[in-house]
Amino acid sequence: MEIPVHLPSLLRPSVGGGDQVAVEAETLGEALTVLVQRHPLLRFHLYDERGAVRTHVLIYYNGESVASLPTLDLPLRPGDELEVINAVSGG
Burial class (CB in 10 A: 0-12, 13-18, 19+), 72: middle
List pLDDT tens digits, range 72-90: 999 999 999 999 998 876 6
Stretch 13-35: mean pLDDT, rounded?
96
Q: Would residue 64 count as lying in a domain?
A: yes
List pLDDT tens digits, range 29-59: 999 999 999 999 999 999 999 999 999 999 9
Q: Would residue 35 count as lying in a domain?
A: yes
pTM of this structure: 0.90
Q: Which domain holds residue 17?
A: 2-86
Q: Would residue 91 count as lying in a domain?
A: no
Counted domains in the chain: 1
Q: Would residue 46 count as lying in a domain?
A: yes
**Can you give the CATH number for the domain in which 69 is found?**
3.10.20.30
Whether 57 and 86 have beta carbons less than 8 Å apart is answered as yes
**Predicted pLDDT at 89:** 66
List 83's β-bridge partners, or say none. Answer: 6, 60
Q: How many CB atoms lie within 10 A of CB 61?
A: 20
**Predicted pLDDT at 87:** 81
Q: Would residue 72 count as lying in a domain?
A: yes
Q: Would residue 32 count as lying in a domain?
A: yes
Q: Would residue 31 count as lying in a domain?
A: yes
**Predicted pLDDT at 88:** 75
